[in-house]
Amino acid sequence: MGKKRKKYRLNARFYCLMLSLFIIIALVINVGATLRLDTIPNFHGWSTNKVMQYEKEHENILMIYELEYSYDVLQNCVIEQSIKPRTAISNDPLILTLKVSKGRPIMEDFTGKSLEEIEAFADTYALNLKVKGEEGAIASQTIQAGEVLSKGMTVTVTLK
């Protein structure tokens, strides 16, 4: 019985070694495919300086930058890209659109503007809106123009 147990241990070690070797080979292949120079990288989180350097090194890729406010992504970092990462790059010209964070949104001055304009702004930036008054243009707002916003902030406006 002692020999069978020893033989079983040898087989288990062998299978563990083979499984580990298989996992390492799969990881090397996956990393190799990711690092290939002829594919689009995942730009999410890259700074615009790093992206522009990449653009200089790849003359057949034209980058279009769209600026957008973001609560989650730091200013001047990529939020989203139009072409999926690992897409093969050919010698043909390629247009890649990148959404870049302008940082957190900033409150606008709505004095004299309509209620509909601030409602659209509040919806876009996930703000809570309270309205005092029945109708007319906005006379005042509780969050001052130029103030940096946080998701879920409450802005109260008074109508004339």
Predicted confidence (pLDDT) per residue in 74-108, tens digit: 999 999 999 999 888 888 899 999 999 999 999 99
**Which is more confidently placed, 94 or 37?**
94
Task: Determine the pLDDT at residue 90.
Answer: 83
Average predicted confidence (pLDDT) for the chain:
88
Q: How would residue 5 be classed by pLDDT, with cut points 50, 70 and 90?
A: low
Q: Where are the domains of the chain?
A: 1-35, 38-104, 115-159
CATH topology of domain 38-104: Trypsin Inhibitor V; Chain A (3.30.10)
Q: Could you write out the DSSP letters of every residue in 43-112?
A: -TT-BHHHHHHHHHH-TTEEEEEEEE--SSS-TTBEEEESS-TTPBP-SS-EEEEEEEE--S-B----TT
